[in-house]
Structure 1
Amino acid sequence: MLFMQNGMTPLHLAVWHSIRSDNHATVKTLLEYNADCSAEDDEGMTPIKHISKGPGREKLQELLHRHLEEQRKRRALEACGEAKAKMDELEKELSNIVGLHDLKVQLRKWAKGMLLDERRRSLGLKVGARRPPHMAFLGNPGTGKTMVARVLGKLLHMVGILPTDKVTEVQRTDLVGEFVGHTGPKTRRKIQEAEGGILFVDEAYRLIPMQKSDDKDYGLEALEEIMSVMDSGKIVVIFAGYSEPMKRVIGSNEGFSRRVTKFFQFSDFNPEELAEILHIKMNNQTEQSLLYGFKLHSSCSLDAIARLIEKETTEKQRKEMNGGLVDPLLVNAREYLDLRLSFDCIDADELQTITLEDLEAGIRLFS
């Protein structure tokens, strides 16, 4: 009972007994059932470390060393397979993100480094804990900032850096109160809600007033509350917003640039990228979606849709909407399909196929 309280495993106890009785039968039996040779007791001692040098103990040491090496090799192979499966899962998530080459490279680097750390640990190597950086996502609405934050949450949870994959999305109204003493508790509740995951502060520049005033702006108080917990390691914070206004946030607090070390620019989508987003959305419809079960006609190639978008929308429209243009376009196209079909139509394929004509009619509603 005393040994179990010291964190000793059955293998620790069997080794202790074997040293005194010169009988290795129990140790051999436990090893046959894959008892962990690298397990440590409360003093950081593995079963092997309990064997001091002495006559008749070489066989016991050799037995444990052999099994320890076999376990390390087996764990390394298992870790390698798991790492490959996790990287495949990440690549699947990244395949649904259009553009953002530099960010994808960074995500792959983080994932690979973290998974290699897992492998190092499986080999019994000592590796320092990684702490993911706080980030700023800069760009116009509809460029994929929120979606990337969700992928990042899955990644950091997948490799064990964060205990959950949740992304808590907040804006100024979720953080800032209307009177003195209201903002602090309100912000702290959101921070507590985000613990273990990512706090995604959208339109973060709204926390900083455009002009200095004698009155204290409560947005600054909310930002200070967030900054106060960014060194705790309990959450990852992502500040998002338009590139130019975000400079106010960066310059508002001397500790901001020290804590937020990764800045990513989300560029506006061109017609080709918007066509790719449309294809991805059509191939990933859920049962709750209005477009579930529908498909694109063979004439709706990437090139054809890109030409249509370039012809029927202005650069200003595309810049203002970006990826946000795609969902209403598809909804409009389906509504036009319903208008175009007659009740006499009995062709199941035709009933659920969106044509280039439908997309053209849908996009013209933006004009």
Structure 2
Amino acid sequence: MSVLLSDTFYEDVPTLDEVKHEISSIVGLREIKRHLEAIVEKIIVAEKDASDGLKVLPPKPFHMVFVGNNGTGKSTVARILGKLFYLSRALSSYAVTEMQGNKKMKDAKGGVLLVNIDEEDPINSKLVDEIIAAMDEGDISIIFAGTYKALNQYMKFNNELYKRFSARLQFDDLTPEELAMILQKKASDQGEDGLICGFALDSSCSTIDIADKIAALAPESLRRLLNAHLLDQMLIEARKVAERSGEKTIFLRDLAVGIHSGGQIYKNLLNL
């Protein structure tokens, strides 16, 4: 089961300082953050060598496997890697293109191709051959993302595919406290596209209290299945509660209703 749609992400031309800030802002994923920070340090060293007049050869793009459930940050990290590969001159583009692993091959435009693998999808042998050919051409970086079961099933289909991956990153499920921290970050976005634009969380909505509500009201099985993907609907439902009471402040009691209602919506949607 995948909740991600095929798309291409274009963002402003990245700077190293902006990417470093993005990495530091990631909630959880401690080991993965260290991996990203190591790439940043390599870019810094290369830039210094170049400024000192030394010849610096850009690294070759490499291919990776992201193992984890939905909502654990795989797309976010893929976009950061796309920027790092671009800044290191390994890739000519920082765009990240997403696609499902049983659909038509997409043009990654010299950037990163993020292939989402779902264990329920039939394997498209023609697509696998096209992906292998794209890997060998060497002008894009391909990342396979999915659960361990889905990826293992896909890799067993073609041993030549598995051999071409250079790194494997594990994305652990988010804890209730990590989910609470992400929810607070989402709630603080008061831009026009913010989920609760015009509303604010009350001071009673501390990280610890939100985490307790998530742990109590959102079933662990649902959290493991969707992780951060649950949070948008929870905030939307909490905002509705505040609107009905004529408030512009979302209190902890409102958020508790939103957490429960948002979880129920997904349970019904997924027939759980």
Same fold (TM over 0.5): yes
Are 2:235 and 2:258, in contact at CA under 8 Å, matched by a contact in 1?
Answer: yes
Can you list the C-alpha shifts for 1:10-50, whole angstroms capped at 9, x where unaligned?
xxxxxxxxxxxxxxxxxxxxxxxxxxxxxxxxxxxxxxxxx
What pairs with 1:289-300 in structure 2 (closer than 5 Å)? 289-300=194-205
Which aligned runs of 4 or more in structure 1 are off by greater than 4 angstroms?
204-209
* TM-score normalised over the length of structure 1: 0.64
- Rounded to whole Å, the distance in 1 between the matches of 2:63 and 2:81 is 12
Which residue in 2 is equivalent to 1:272? 177
- Structure 1 runs not aligned, ≥5 long: 1-84, 176-186, 210-218, 342-350
Structure 1 residue 285: deviation in Å?
4.6
What TM-score does the superposition give when structure 2 sets the normalisation length?
Answer: 0.85
Aligned twin of 1:149: 78
1:309 is aligned to 2:214 = yes
For the Cα contact (< 8 Å) 2:135–2:142, is it kept in 1? yes
- Alignment partner of 1:127 is 2:56: yes
Point out where structure 2 has 5 or more consecutive residues left out of the alignment: 1-13, 265-272
Q: Percent identity?
A: 38
Shift of 1:207: 6.6
Q: Does 1:112 align with 2:26?
A: no
Name the structure 1 match of 2:98.
169
Pairwise CA RMSD of aligned residues? 2.0
Structure 2 partner of 1:327:
232
The answer on whether the counterparts of 2:61 and 2:90 sit within 8 Å (CA) in structure 1 is: yes
**2:66 pairs with 1:137:** yes
2: CA distance between counterparts of 1:169 and 1:292? Answer: 28
Q: Shift of the alpha carbon at 1:204?
A: 5.8
1:244 aligns with 2:149: yes
**2:114–2:142: 8 Å Cα contact kept in structure 1?**
yes
Report the count of equivalent residues.
250
Of 92, 98, 101, the match for 2:21: 92
Shift of the 322–363 alpha-carbon distance from structure 1 to 2, 3 Å rule, reads same
- The answer to whether the 8 A contact 2:187-2:195 is kept is no
Match of 2:113 in 1: 199
SS state of the match for residue 245, structure 1?
Answer: helix
Residue of 359, 364, 367 corresponding to 2:255: 359
For 1:156 and 1:285, how far apart are their aligned partners in 2? 31
More helix by share: 1
Is the 1:230–1:237 Cα contact (8 Å) retained in structure 2? Answer: yes
Cα deviation, residue 128, structure 1: 2.7
**Counterpart position of 1:39:** none
Does structure 1 retain, via aligned residues, the 8 Å contact 2:69–2:171? yes
Distance 1:204 1:364 in 2: 27
Provide the C-alpha distance between the structure 2 equivalents of 1:319 and 1:313, rounded to a whole number of angstroms.
10
Write out aligned runs for 1:206-285 (5 A): 209=123, 219-285=124-190
Q: Which residue of 2 aligns with 1:33?
A: none
Residue 364 (structure 1) shift = 2.0
